[in-house]
Amino acid sequence: MTKAERSAYVAARLEELYPETPIPLDHRDPYTLLIAVLLSAQCTDERVNKITPALFALADNPAAMARVPVETIRGIIRPCGLSPRKSAAISELSKILLEQHGGEVPADFAALEALPGVGHKTASVVMSQAFGVPAFPVDTHIHRLAQRWKLTSGKNVVETERDLKRAFPRESWNQLHLRIIFYGREHCTARGCDGTVCEICRTLFPDRVRPVKTRK
Catalytic site includes residue 139: yes
Of 3, 139, 150, 165, which residue is the catalytic one? 139
Q: Are 14 and 172 in contact (CB under 8 A)?
A: no
Catalytic site includes residue 150: no
**Other CB atoms within 10 A of residue 160 CB:** 23
Q: Report angle CA 158, 163, 169 to the nearest 5 degrees.
A: 125
Q: Are 137 and 95 in contact (CB under 8 A)?
A: no
Determine the Cα–Cα distance for residues 25 and 71; give it in Å rounded to an integer: 24
Q: Are 61 and 40 in contact (CB under 8 A)?
A: no
Of 86, 121, 163, 194, which residue is the catalytic one? 121
Active site residues per annotation: 121, 139
